[in-house]
Amino acid sequence: MSEILEPAGAQTPQQHPDGRATTRPPEALAERNGSVRHALLNAALEVFIERGYTEAGLNEIATRSRIPLGSLFQHYGGKRGLYLALWEEFREEQERRTAATLAAERERGVDDPIALFVAGARAYLEGAWDNRRLAVLLVEDDGPAGIDALRRQWDRAWVRRNARLLEVDEKRRVGRVRVRVLTTVIGGAARELGDCEDEREAREIVDEVCGILIHLSAPPDESPGTSG
């Protein structure tokens, strides 16, 4: 359900204790709405993890967030909206983290496609570890209707971004397959990170996967260890 939008600069009427009408500045309203959304999403994440999406109840989410159920519907429209908001939050944070890493690498003068790709993959995997509770939830089969189609759409966009980063000709099937395999390796490793016992184990997996990606990223005639 869409939130009610007000004209730019509008102020929300409030009731003064003596009965006079007052107004709330837009900045204060935006801050309060942000706090409400944050509380709802945190509570939704907890309940989804504990109960699973199907068994999660909106009343329990509202109770844990200490936000009225009506506000939950106003902001997210229901359980599906909460789940999709969490999914979008994770996706955007992963893309932001990866983009920041690539920008920093290019600023240092790195221009090798494979080096950039592996740096981006490392940033993605580290983000999956840092946000592992959310990452694990979002790869479970238990989700709202339509989520599989959204995942496939995101996966296709991810493959295209990786192809551009690796400077692979997407018109050639062999190139597309190579990039899809590499992207699948990253996604599978991100899921494994959710089961790591501690940061040391997670770092070992990230390092191992990055080593595998370096080897697999090189075209067949340039693979490490190829003689001649």
Could you read off the pLDDT of 160-203 as tens digits, one per residue?
Answer: 999 999 999 878 888 889 999 999 999 999 999 988 989 999 99
Using CA atoms, how far residue 59 sits from 62, 82, 133, 166, in Å, is: 5, 13, 22, 47
CA 118 to chain centre: 19
| Residue with the larger pLDDT of the pair 53 and 3 | 53
- What is the chain's mean pLDDT, rounded? 85
Cα 29-33-35 angle, rounded to 5 deg: 120
Radius of gyration of the chain (CA): 22
The arithmetic mean of pLDDT across residues 49-77, rounded, is 96
Which residue in this structure is represented by tokens 């971004």? 161
Specify the pLDDT at position 170.
77
What is the rounded end-to-end Cα distance, in angstroms, of the chain? 62
Residue of 3, 12, 79, 2 lying closest to 40 (CA atoms): 79
Using CA atoms, how far residue 182 sits from 49, 166, 168, in Å, is: 29, 11, 12
The model's confidence at residue 227, banded by pLDDT at 50, 70 and 90, is: very low
pLDDT digit string, tens, across residues 68-124: 999 999 999 999 999 999 999 999 999 999 999 999 999 999 999 999 999 999 999
pLDDT digit string, tens, across residues 141-150: 899 999 999 9
CB 182 within 8 A of CB 161: no
pTM to 2 decimals?
A: 0.80
d(CA 82, CA 105): 35
Specify the pLDDT at position 208.
97
CB 119 within 8 A of CB 105: yes
Here the tokens at position 178 are 């190579």
Specify the pLDDT at position 172.
85
Beta bridge partners of 12: 24
| Residue with the larger pLDDT of the pair 5 and 35 | 35
Specify the pLDDT at position 221.
61
Among 5-14, 63-72, 135-144, 183-192, the minimum mean pLDDT is found in 5-14
d(CA 36, CA 23): 19
| Residue with the larger pLDDT of the pair 52 and 18 | 52
d(CA 123, CA 209): 12
